[in-house]
Amino acid sequence: MAPLKLKLTKHQAPPRRLDGTNLTWWNSPIKILDPLEKLVREVTDWKKLSNPDDISILKNYDGMLFTCDIEIGDPPTRFSIVPDTGSSNLWVMADSCLDCEVEGCRTEDEEFLKDDCVASQSKVTRCHNFYQRSASTTSQIVTDETGSHKTFSIQYGSGETAGMVTRDKVKFGSWEIKDQTFGEAQQGATFRQLPFDGIMGLAFKSISVDKMDPVFDNIALGNTEQGMSLSKLPIHPETDREYRSQKQYSCFAFYLSKDECRAHSQLHIGNFDRGCYAKDEELHFVPLSSRTYWAFNVSSIIVAEDNMEAVEFGDRRGKGEWKNASDITELQKLHPNMLPPKSFPDNILEDVINNNNKDFATRYSDPMLLCDDCKAIADSGTSLIAGPSDDIGALNLILGTNEYGMVACDEIRPNVHVVLKNEKGEDRIFTLTPDDYILRFQGETVVECMSGFQTLDAGFWILGDVFMRKFYTVFDQGNERVGFATANESC
């Protein structure tokens, strides 16, 4: 059986502001497992393919959310779920859920496509599909130590989902897991207006609520109808003669397209696709720091206008001369993480202090250090890049964001460089330009822009879809590492 490629289709949806007028999707939670961030992604539902066993569809809702289809039970019920590397549990809404559905919701047949690459989202919430245990001949109740039906509860930013633990047949692409443990959600108010039916965690079992086996664990271990476990990916797959592109390995990968009309986004299960990233690059594999989230160490995150090749990693704080102690105090009030600046032209320092000139850093300063030997996770279930409030606050101040995260679309802004060390101890720089991290949306009359950086005080950074759209990302479970390389325009 060849590796599975799941196709993603982008759906346009107008975001909403925090003030309720139009545009913002953060600060409304759907994220799993406290203490992660509070984000909401605008969603619609799925478009069927003629051969769902070979290709399933994932959907990208304004770059905010991806879903794919799974089937549960016999006879099977199809569910639209979020494949999330930031959590580990599988759950779907149950027919006993009292607060999952919205009155007046639309059925799947009411969705329509504007063209082949962009789908229109109705203003009416999509009706959910529900799991009905009594209708499945292969369902099994999971009991606790008292013999009662076992329960589960997962906490989210603004609520929780909870229900019963069940075991049943799950079909994911061409894989069929005979006895997959999952949650039947009986509480769904947090998600009822978001048109997906559940979430499929792709992180490790150690953070799984009630230690339910993650779906990919069962696939990798061979707990499927096929009964074949997956081999480890070769350490250097691009150069290893034993590597085979049509062989299945214990890994999966995300390709998030910048232009869905040119190339669909994809989720690859069981291997990666060499055609999805630059020919002159090899995957840069970063070892995991723990088998929890897909967590790893980050050498540094630096904001700089100049080419990062000029930065000496052994001395990231620069050698510029401060004017005097009072100037240091004033500048640090404006930009706490700013590194020593270069010599300012006449009157620039006065302009910076008196007028709070937010773009001075991009023109007259040395690099700004946001992170020095910190931790991060790669998370397909997070839309933005999230980090500590002090660091993101300083960065967004330079970017000129307002209280809703909106920015002017035409200003000059710096690059953001993420430096990652591979298994050999070699650093590679992953550069995000303003075109990568400033998100553009068509407003009612004009194009509007917002920052792709979000505050989150969780003790680590989250490299979400903004980062993964620029860099093809391989989650190598067998070798406990994550690989990155510059994504191609098409795949």
Active-site residue list: 84, 379
- Expressed in angstroms, the distance from the first to the final Cα of the chain is 21
CA angle 436, 475, 291 (to 5 degrees): 120
Alpha helices in 252-388 (DSSP H): 325-334, 348-355, 360-364
Could you give the CA distance from residue 204 to residue 479 in angstroms, rounded to a whole number? 13
Residue pair 131/123 in contact (Cβ under 8 Å)? The answer is no
d(CA 6, CA 206): 26
Place of tokens 């250097």: 236
Q: Which residues contact 293 (CB under 8 A, 6 or more apart)?
A: 85, 86, 203, 204, 207, 377, 379
3-state secondary structure of 206: helix
- Which pair of tokens denotes residue 27? 């600060």
> Is 72:92 a contact under the CB 8 Å cutoff?
yes
314 three-state secondary structure: helix
Contact of 421 with 297, CB cutoff 8 Å = yes
Nearest by Cα to 418 from 454, 380, 471: 471
Q: Is 74 exposed, middle or buried (0-12, 13-18, 19+ CB in 10 A)?
A: middle
Peptide bond into 76 cis (omega under 30): no
- Give the C-alpha separation, 428 to 462, whole Å: 18
- Cα separation, 444 vs 446, in Å, equals 6
Between the alpha carbon of residue 385 and those of residues 176, 456, 467, the distances in Å are 34, 9, 7
DSSP string, 163-186: EEEEEEEEEETTEEEEEEEEEEES
What residues contact residue 3 under an 8 Å CB cut-off, 6+ apart? 246, 247, 248, 249, 268, 269, 270, 271
Q: Going along 173-280, which residue ranges are E strands?
A: 175-185, 198-201, 251-255, 265-269
**Partner residues linked to 387 by β-bridges:** 455
